[in-house]
Amino acid sequence: MSEVLLSRDDHVATITLNRPDRLNAISGPMLVGLARMLVDCDADPGVRVIVLTGAGRGFCSGLDLQDVASGQGIGSGGDGSGDGGGGGFRIDDTPPFVLRRLDTPVLCALNGPAAGYGMDLALGCDLIVASDAASFVPPTRRGVIPESGGTWLLPRLVGLQKACEITFLGRKLAAEDLQRLGLVNLVVPHADLDQTVAAWAKELADQAPLAIKAAKRTMRLGLDTTFDANAHHVMAELMGLFRSKDFAEAVSAFMEKRTPDYQGR
């Protein structure tokens, strides 16, 4: 069975990490498969939302330490991990880095524990709806650092001092901690996770897709640019949106007091 699964429901694509017997620990093939699926979904105009989740009782337990201990897998030294892991797979082609380049919104359904690499993977998503059984565990107690975006994301999400506390101490963060720190958008009872994620995904998919992608691009670039530079980029995006059929449909729907039917054109 594939270690990464893809399913479609209308405009929503769901990608599922599928090694439940290992709490979805990351293997080399998973890196390649997940990255390719993310890129393919982003390139598909019919996909307006990507949902990322894990099979079984966990989201992702991080790099597969059983493989490392046996001299195989990512981090073992014989797998090409010096250039990003997965046998010549470059670091900027790994899923957390790919997530930074996607224009399609990505919603994480955090169904359980996310440790190390799994924590970075979840934080790389645009939105996170978490089960009350979810948790984050930084990798520092395993002798490594958050290597896939965590050291960049955490200070921006919670501030430098709180990011240092989380990373240096390596304490497990339970669902209520994630909510308190603003690391997730919403925590729900585990039994309600699928229904809540489906509702969020549908609401996202019903939005004007060109506008959502443009908003994501400008906010992402805004993290790395000055206000003035970002304002110019926003204006360029806005001029394109004004010429789109979706904008004309939004105006017509407003005047006719009906729900707009966006086509992504």
Would you say 99 and 38 are in contact if contact means Cβ atoms under 8 Å apart? yes
Boundary of a domain, candidates 186, 205, 224: 205
Kindly state the average pLDDT of the residues 232-255: 88
Please write the tens of the pLDDT for every residue from 49-65. 999 999 999 999 988 76
Boundary of a domain, candidates 205, 229, 247: 205
34 lies in which domain range?
4-205
Please write the tens of the pLDDT for every residue from 160-180. 999 999 999 999 999 999 999
Q: Are residues 122 and 222 in the same domain?
A: no
Please write the tens of the pLDDT for every residue from 187-233. 999 999 999 999 999 999 999 999 999 999 999 888 888 888 888 88
- pLDDT for position 251: 87
Q: Are residues 219 and 156 in the same domain?
A: no
Kindly state the average pLDDT of the residues 127-134: 98
Q: Are residues 160 and 72 in the same domain?
A: yes
DSSP line for 170-232 = ---EEHHHHHHHTSSSEEE-GGGHHHHHHHHHHHHHTS-HHHHHHHHHHHHHHTTS-HHHHHH
- pLDDT for position 93: 77
Q: Are residues 67 and 163 in the same domain?
A: yes
Closest to 107 (Cα-Cα) out of 50, 148, 153, 55: 50
- The overall average pLDDT reported for the chain is 88
- pLDDT for position 229: 86
C-alpha to C-alpha distances, 101 to 16, 95, 98, 126, nearest whole angstrom? 20, 10, 5, 12
Closest to 216 (Cα-Cα) out of 124, 138, 87: 124
Answer yes or no: is 265 within a domain.
Answer: no
Alpha helices in the chain (DSSP H): 28-43, 65-69, 95-101, 117-123, 150-158, 160-169, 175-181, 193-205, 209-222, 227-242, 245-256
Spell out the residues 6+ positions from residue 101 whose beta carbon is closer than 8 angstroms to its own. Answer: none
Q: Given a cut of 50, is residue 95 above it in pLDDT?
A: yes
Q: How confident is the model at residue 144 (pLDDT cuts 50, 70, 90)?
A: confident
Q: What's the rounded Cα separation, in Å, for the pair 17 and 54?
A: 5
Answer yes or no: is 261 within a domain.
Answer: no
